[in-house]
Amino acid sequence: MKPLFPPALKKSGTIGIVSPASPQRDKSRLDKGIRYLESLGYNVKLGKYSTSRFGGYLAGTDEERLSDLQTMFSDPQIDAIFCSRGGYGSARLLAGLDTTLIKKNPKILVGFSDITSLQLALWKKCGLVTFSGAMPSVDMAETFDPTSEEQFWRVLTSRKPLGTLKQPWSMNAVQQGDAEGRLLGGNLSVVCSIIGTPYMPSLSGSILALEDVGEESYRIDRLLTQLVYATHRARPAGVAYGFWSQESRPRGSTPHRDVMEILAERIDITRGPILTDLMYGHEPTKLTLPFGVLTRLSSRTKRMSLLESAVQ
């Protein structure tokens, strides 16, 4: 897949905000996120249905949410598209994506968690490089972690190779090796939910970054087992695991097991390097990962490096 790089976000550019998944839990958080963006000199344009609600857990009907997204891609005044939050619902939009429109108007698209399905589909159908990271109603509604903030804006604006991802702690190697490939991944549950559909890209030769939130260890085991079975003929070149953000007291009667034990068992997910403790996932301190960018993962250096810019 030849990557389609979006234009870099320019100073004083216009950011469109959409809600492809769940509605706002608290609209004041979105308002705070908007004020943060405006304080940096950006203009903000809200999607028509970005604060809507439908069926309890969706931010508007599928048609409304899809309309907002595609309107932002077609609007020449919009320089980047930020998803307000995750939740659930992005996968319901995939069949309606106008990939011809998106290919003609490549733009920065930022979001994580449930937005994973949209990002993987856009890579599969368009080759569009997208950004798995901070969102206005989540990270920008409170004090933006300084380490995360600096890297977030750099990855959206710099036309230079992004280089080694810096984080306050070292990654740890589960399996040795060095590998290069296109960076893909996202939320493990969402990745597995679109396996076998026309919107799931091949993971063959990729550097796969995975995270999840609130899942008990046996469910992570189940999801990783499914992923291993589904990719046995097209395995990633290397795997980096981020945060799992588990509850301190797991629900139900299933005995708790350290998730690191499960990761150590599932080394058959790749023949290449497997590293843990990537600063990525559902925590305030997080890296923004540009999916589609050529990436190196090394157990020797215990680092992940982005070998090119994510924007043009």
Q: Which residue has the tokens 């809507």?
A: 52
Query: Is residue 113 annotated as part of the catalytic site, yes or no?
Result: yes
Rounded to whole angstroms, how far apart are CA atoms 227 and 266? 10
Q: Strand runs (DSSP E) across the chain, as ranges?
A: 14-18, 43-46, 80-83, 108-111, 130-132, 163-164, 172-175, 178-187, 207-211, 238-241, 274-276, 289-291, 294-298, 303-306
- Give which of 125, 77, 120 is closest to 101, Cα–Cα: 125
Q: Which one is catalytic: 113, 137, 217, 298? A: 113
- Give which of 185, 183, 197 is closest to 3, Cα–Cα: 183
With contact defined as beta carbons under 8 Å apart, do 174 and 276 qualify?
A: yes
User: What's phi and psi for 130, nearest 5 deg?
Assistant: -125, 175
Query: Is residue 50 annotated as part of the catalytic site, yes or no?
Result: no
Residue 99 exposed, middle or buried by CB count within 10 Å (0-12, 13-18, 19+):
middle
Q: Which one is catalytic: 90, 137, 189, 282? A: 282
Query: Is residue 215 annotated as part of the catalytic site, yes or no?
Result: no
Q: Which one is catalytic: 64, 211, 215, 308? A: 211
Residue 129 DSSP code: -
Rounded to whole angstroms, how far apart are CA atoms 22 and 202? 27
* Catalytic machinery residues: 113, 211, 282
